[in-house]
Structure 1
Amino acid sequence: MRRSLSLLVPLALAATTLHAQGAPREGVATLAADAEARWVPFDLTPGNQIRFTLTLDDKPVTAILDTGVSYSVLARASAAVDPARVRADGQATAIGGGASGAVPVGWLATRRLTIGGLTRTGGGVTVADLPALATGSARAVDMLVGRDVTGGHALDIDYANHRFRLLPSGRLPFVGAIAPLAISPARRVYESAVTVGRARLAPMIVDTGDGSALTLSAASAKTGGIARLPTTTTVSFGLAGETVSTLAILPALTLGRQAIRDVEVRIEPAGGFSETIGVAGRIGSGLLQNYRVLLDPGAGRMVLKPAAGGSAAPLRSTSGLLVGLERDRLKVLHVMRGGPAATAGWQAGDTICRIDGQPIAADYPTSALARWAIGTPGTSVRLGMCDGTIRTLTLARFY
């Protein structure tokens, strides 16, 4: 299946896992009798996240489906927010911004939220700053839809056809490999486990809002023996800011009964987000998108049906540059350790306006031009800087 070109750049943007203090009431969620027929169309953002439209208090709202968020988040800047009705609600723990990852949050009571065949009445949403980078896109969304909305039902995500639906718990609409799934009483997010070598790593947050494939705490990576693999560095962005992690390609892991080969894994620094909240790591949309996925914590299971074309191999950078799109240019967000760009003296903040003479267009993330950064080792790419100079970068395999 076609993968998000954020990985081709590659640019991996971790979504937020948020745990509010003083959790709001969750309202009452019900499914329509014909919920099974009410598919919700979505597109994948450049950060590999599921973006769709819902209705909140009679207003259309753009949202990310984010099972790693315990309480749904509405952006302070959204037109759906009435600032006069937002009350302070303490702090939340989020990805990025160092070890604490604390961000201030508010709470807003809501009347009615509708997604496909699900309607929630009453309850409320957490309110926080939600910058575009935190959602892996050039434009911000209004909302992250979390466990509080979806957790009482089965969630059927058809990545191949870019659609999802909510079903009664216990339904099994397709056959696939089964893995354990539960909602943590402490963290209130979807959790499972993976096996790496002989090590069982748990709990692992199942996080559709994280565009990465697999993220591990430093301690879990050591338990899984990942230190022996060739590594580089990468950057992720969450609600609390930027995090630099170690990056490697894991030869194999097992998720329930599903064996998976060649998985991109990010290793957080010691004392990082996963350790802070007491988990082994996260399973993200970068891995899940190779399957049709059923998440049914009420039935205690996740079901994975491989995509028709099989699992896509991880897309390895051969440039060593992680970039973000800013209108008509690419901005370097991170220079990967040991890569060709690091050797050539590239710096975060450098801006690129042309690639082999071609300008950067608005459709760059989904265009063939974006593949230059994972090109064949030995290829020389002419990069036109926005100051008018030209730099030549020779691609190489380095991790």
Structure 2
Amino acid sequence: MSRSAFPLSVLLTLAATPAWAGAAACWFEHGVVVVGAEVMGVPGDYILDTATPHTFLAETQAQTAGYVETALTGDVRVAGMKLRGQKVAVADLDMRTGALPTPIAGVIGADVLKAFVLDLSFAPCRVTLSRAGHAPRFPSRTALPIHWVAERPVVRAAVSDGLQALAGAFAPATGGDTAVRLSDALAGAPGAAKPNELYPYGVLRPRLRALSISGALIENLPAGLIKAEDPGLAGEIGAPLLSRYRLRFDFPARKLLLAPAH
């Protein structure tokens, strides 16, 4: 072997080595986390949402890219990491993205994120994805067990309206637009003039007396409803509340770690 061939073989070996971690800047506005990503070869700004079970490509972007099917399979790139052969649905996301200042290409959901340890800081907004066993140190005194309900990660929490209390499984929603949303099978807002506006991306935000999570009591929260999808899902804890912390979703270890935001 010539001396020049050896460095080349080393470079080829390094190029074939999969990435163990990656990071990207994000932005947090109107209660959702948005990050640059590429889905099915379509680059753009994508909502990062741990409470959305499946990854979506917006209908407009899919049509522009030449896709006519609504169920696709291909590559997803986010925060320097790549997953091949992911199932991607095509959907109209106008209602979900109308309040955001830039076009949204889709949603990166839990089906992609669960392969990684996800670290999220809100100010400044930054996303880090690591393979199991390769995540950086994350100092935290609070660790919540993660379970899965309706293909979403959930943690245990309790809410109260001042008269009644409800404990159950809540999905931490990094793409959730308000602090807390409750399943409409368990809660309601009697007398609301426009009941549809109580649901995601609506304008009505009644106040909830308190939420308790891992011993912390957070009071007087804007709230809303979500459609009941599974009897085991009590609701969502949205990004406006989660932004009080730095988060680590250690999906391989099934733990959510909470650290002070600063």
TM-score normalised by length of structure 2: 0.77
Deviations along 1:343-364, one digit per CA (max 9) or x if unpaired, are xxxxxxxxxxxxxxxxxxxxxx
Distance 1:183 1:200 in 2: 19
Aligned to 1:204: 170
Distance 1:193 1:127 in 2: 32
Alignment partner of 1:289 out of 237, 243, 252: 243
Distance 2:208 2:18 in 1: 41
Aligned to 2:3: none
Gaps of 5+ in 2: 1-16
Alignment partner of 1:277 out of 230, 243, 253: 230
- 1:304 is displaced (CA, Å) by 1.1
Is the Cα contact below 8 Å between 1:218 and 1:267 reproduced in 2?
A: no
Aligned to 1:122: 85
- The letter for the 1-side match of 2:72 is L
Matched, 1:256 2:256: no
- 1:294 is displaced (CA, Å) by 0.8
**Counterpart of 2:252 in 1: which secondary structure?**
helix
The verdict on how the C-alpha distance between 1:181 and 1:232 changes in structure 2, with shifts beyond 3 A counting, is: farther
- The letter for the 1-side match of 2:54 is Y
Is the Cα contact below 8 Å between 1:201 and 1:220 reproduced in 2?
A: no
The verdict on how the C-alpha distance between 1:245 and 1:62 changes in structure 2, with shifts beyond 3 A counting, is: same
- 1:301 is displaced (CA, Å) by 1.4
Is the Cα contact below 8 Å between 1:49 and 1:64 reproduced in 2?
A: yes
- 1:109 is displaced (CA, Å) by 2.2
The RMSD of aligned alpha carbons is 3.1
Deviations along 1:48-102, one digit per CA (max 9) or x if unpaired, are 2111211234442220101111110101100564233x1xxxxxxxxxxxxxxxx
- The letter for the 2-side match of 1:215 is R
- 1:188 is displaced (CA, Å) by 0.8
- The letter for the 2-side match of 1:82 is G
% identical equivalent positions: 23
Distance 1:51 1:215 in 2: 20
Aligned to 2:148: 183
Matched, 1:43 2:27: yes
- The letter for the 1-side match of 2:214 is G
Q: Which residues of 2 match residues 132-147 of structure 1 at below 5 A?
A: 133-134=96-97, 136-147=99-110
Aligned residues: 237
The verdict on how the C-alpha distance between 1:200 and 1:129 changes in structure 2, with shifts beyond 3 A counting, is: same
Single out whichever of 134-143 and 62-71 deviates more from structure 2: 134-143
The verdict on how the C-alpha distance between 1:73 and 1:243 changes in structure 2, with shifts beyond 3 A counting, is: same
**Counterpart of 1:174 in 2: which secondary structure?**
coil
Matched, 1:77 2:60: yes
Distance 2:139 2:220 in 1: 24
Is the Cα contact below 8 Å between 2:121 and 2:261 reproduced in 1?
A: no
Alignment partner of 2:51 out of 65, 68, 71: 68
Q: Which residues of 2 match residues 44-59 of structure 1 at below 5 A?
A: 44-45=28-29, 47-59=30-42
The verdict on how the C-alpha distance between 1:43 and 1:243 changes in structure 2, with shifts beyond 3 A counting, is: closer
**Counterpart of 1:70 in 2: which secondary structure?**
coil
Is the Cα contact below 8 Å between 2:53 and 2:151 reproduced in 1?
A: yes
The verdict on how the C-alpha distance between 1:219 and 1:236 changes in structure 2, with shifts beyond 3 A counting, is: closer
- 1:306 is displaced (CA, Å) by 2.1
The verdict on how the C-alpha distance between 1:276 and 1:52 changes in structure 2, with shifts beyond 3 A counting, is: closer
More strand by share: 2
Deviations along 1:162-213, one digit per CA (max 9) or x if unpaired, are 10111234645221322221233xx111111212369452221211111211
Distance 1:131 1:159 in 2: 24
